[in-house]
Structure 1
């Protein structure tokens, strides 16, 4: 078998990988999306299944009002003393000199839980991880934040002893063990003890195209005792602009039962428009930061190296002792909303799906209109990640809007200021119509455009349901509608997918760490709680999209998730 990167396509970033007996687990960041912390499992490092969303109640996590790309940053999963340990950071500020974050710890005897009520650990810095030393001591290892304008905000990697008796840190033991290199922005630390030495893996350069991972080692955990790997960095794509994979860096190390080594890293697959350079800008990562796995070997000096060079590879040799893991061929999803709870792939923003948003079951999803798609407090939106460049998303909705202030439909969404949708609303003549709206850059909350305006299609009398479709084709996407589910009419509006990418958002907003979503939403900012019923939802991945003799045909790519 071969590992085909990325192994977790579409917004699965900051991977923390471990192995417990023959099973590998990866925990990834979720930021403002609820539930928090996704965990995938595999026994071959090739095929992965989403098995748990850990932070799934408001007692575990409440992010109401948190900024876009705030929330859960870089969870750390470990296993020791017969149980799983999960450290996670909840960030409350993304812009400016302050972060106002809190680090928490939760534990469970099995990956499915139940997970314990989170314990507040500290707020020194984000990207915290827990190191279990061979002598029984435990340490919190973390990026350290400095708000002072005359200091660099990334103030090195701090180590603090953790007391398992009191389940609290010992602040008097805190010390900086690594200050990073001149690249700066040192973060995402993971500490290991291998062959009697301590190895610190840490990210640098920011989680953009200059991203990288460095390795340092020491015989002790004394202050500033770690020495950086020569001829580094360990992994980066800064100097490999033509690589299929970009932004590799922040991640974690794991060994196989047979003694092989692998490294799980965040990565991205940017694309660029035909009229753009592929080098600068390097492209638009609409699927967000994903997870790749690279094989690691050890050189004569005892340092870890990425097999094939520090740029990594798309196809990687799987472990010799891999146990085949059954998993779906792609991430297509069809939902008839028969169950009383939302499926594992659905997310909401900041808080769990609740009665204020609506209900699901008996063949329909009911959503109650609240705030606009720019709202960070009260929003009725359920959505799932884009996990392929080419896909169709479709739904069937029944809705009778109160006024132009009430809307219901299908959305492609990045954050509060970057999104679009096709929806049912009312025009000034009291008719139910179809509109396409887009919110994108220019202001902090974006600038909004109504594309159909005075020419919005009127929904004929007697039509109970309207069908909406989004056809997503890597660089662009368009919306269609139908009154019978068979005959589709294009809106004629083609939207630039780049607007829903980290690389577009970073130009104007301090939080740019997630990825594009597609989903269902109802808005009624009049406060009259207009309600819509969605009969079904279909997300179908399409493989490669190629033009042949002037017509389009579907062909499965050699790259399974491409």
Structure 2
């Protein structure tokens, strides 16, 4: 069997991979999206199945008001003492000198849950991971943030002992164990003990084109005792601009039962407009940062390296001892909303889906109109990841607005600054419902149809809306019967929904594009919209 990268497509950043018995697990960052932390399992590293998210309750994670790309950064999954341990940060400030965050710990005896209520750890820095030493002691390893303008903000890797009896850190034990290389921006630490030596894997260079993973080791956990590998960088695409995978780094190491080694890291797949260079800019990653897995080997003097070179490979040999595993369901999705809860592919922003946002069941998703798609506190948006460059998504909408402040429709969304949608609203000039297309581009809002909005006949109950995404561009269509479609005449540049576009002007650029369903009522009357028969279909090569 072969591992085809990326193994987790569309917005699956910062993978923390472990093995328990013959099963591998990956935890990924979710940032402002709820539920918190994305989990997958596999027995062969080829086929991955989604698991219920561990942070599904507001008592575990309340991100109301968090900035876009705040929230859950770089969760760490581990297994020791007969249970799973999950460390995660809730980051409350993204831009500027400060990164206000709190690191939490939850545990579970079963990966499927139930997961405990969170234990507050500290706020020293983000990207914290828990290391279980073979003598029974435990340590929190984390990036250290320094807000002082005369220091580099990435102020080394801090190690703090954790008391498993009291489930509390011991702050007096904190020390810096490594400052990183001269590339700086050292973060994402994971610590391992292999053949009596401690190996520290860290990301550097920022999670962009200059991203890299480096390795250091030490015989002790004393302050500043780690030395860097002579063959660093361990993994990078900085010098491989034409590679299929880019931005690789920030991940975790795992061994197989037979002693093979693999490394899971984030990656990205850029595309370019025809008139653009393939190297500057390197492109636009609308699917966000995904997860790749590379094979690892070791030098005679005990340093790990990526098989095939530090740029990694698109296709990698699977473990020779991989257990038989079944292929997961395809990423295509049809939801007729007959169940009483939302499926695992659906996400909301910052808080869980509840009666304040709407309800689901009996063949419809009902959303109460709330704030605009720029709102960080109260909005009704249910969305799923883009997981392919080319796909169609459609939905039927039952909506009877009586004011232009009331809107409901289908959105392609990156964050509160960058999104678009096709929606049903009220046109007071014509005295009827209309279909409009609008885009928010760093808060430059454009109503594309204006005087040409499509009137909705009075006898039409269901307005069908569809988006067709074709890598570089995407469009919106409408139908009054669900069979005969008409294009709304607006072609939009998909790059606006990419990390790389957002990064040009905003420091929070860590997620990926979503397609979703939204209801807005700026008049405050919470006018309801019913959504029926959502369909997401990826185009096959």
TM-score bucket (shorter structure):
over 0.9
CA contact (8 A) 1:272 1:284 kept: yes
CA distance in 2, matches of 1:57, 1:435: 36
1:161 alignment counterpart: 161
1:34 to 2:31 alignment: no
CA distance in 2, matches of 1:327, 1:350: 31
CA distance in 1, matches of 2:104, 2:167: 11
Superposition pairs of residues 205-244 of structure 1, within 5 angstroms = 205-244=205-244
Superposition pairs of residues 87-166 of structure 1, within 5 angstroms = 87-166=87-166
2:61 alignment counterpart: 61
Residue 301 (structure 1) shift = 1.6
Residue 329 (structure 1) shift = 5.7
2:408 alignment counterpart: 408
Deviations 1:218-276 (A, max 9, x none): 00011111110112100000000000000000000000001000000000000010011
2:463 alignment counterpart: 466
Please state whether the residue corresponding to 2:391 is helix, strand or coil: strand
CA distance in 1, matches of 2:501, 2:160: 37
1:535 alignment counterpart: 532
1:83 to 2:83 alignment: yes
CA distance in 2, matches of 1:447, 1:528: 26
The total of aligned residue pairs comes to: 540
Q: Which runs of 5+ in 2 are unaligned?
A: none
Please state whether the residue corresponding to 2:180 is helix, strand or coil: coil
CA contact (8 A) 1:65 1:377 kept: yes
Superposition pairs of residues 155-554 of structure 1, within 5 angstroms = 155-328=155-328, 330-429=330-429, 430-441=431-442, 446-543=443-540
Deviations 1:308-338 (A, max 9, x none): 0000000000000111322336311000000
Deviations 1:402-435 (A, max 9, x none): 2110100000000001000000001122210000
Residue 92 (structure 1) shift = 0.1
CA distance in 2, matches of 1:480, 1:499: 20
CA distance in 2, matches of 1:51, 1:528: 37
CA contact (8 A) 1:330 1:541 kept: no
CA RMSD of aligned residues (A): 0.7
CA contact (8 A) 1:402 1:530 kept: no
CA distance in 2, matches of 1:294, 1:402: 55
CA distance in 2, matches of 1:228, 1:120: 32
CA contact (8 A) 1:286 1:497 kept: yes
CA distance in 1, matches of 2:526, 2:401: 10
Residue 510 (structure 1) shift = 1.2
Q: Which runs of 5+ in 1 are unaligned?
A: 544-555, 557-562
TM-score by length of structure 2 reads 0.99
Runs of 4+ in 1 over 3 A off after TM superposition: none
Please state whether the residue corresponding to 1:248 is helix, strand or coil: strand
TM-score by length of structure 1 reads 0.96
Deviations 1:455-507 (A, max 9, x none): 10101120111000000000110000000111101011000000000000001
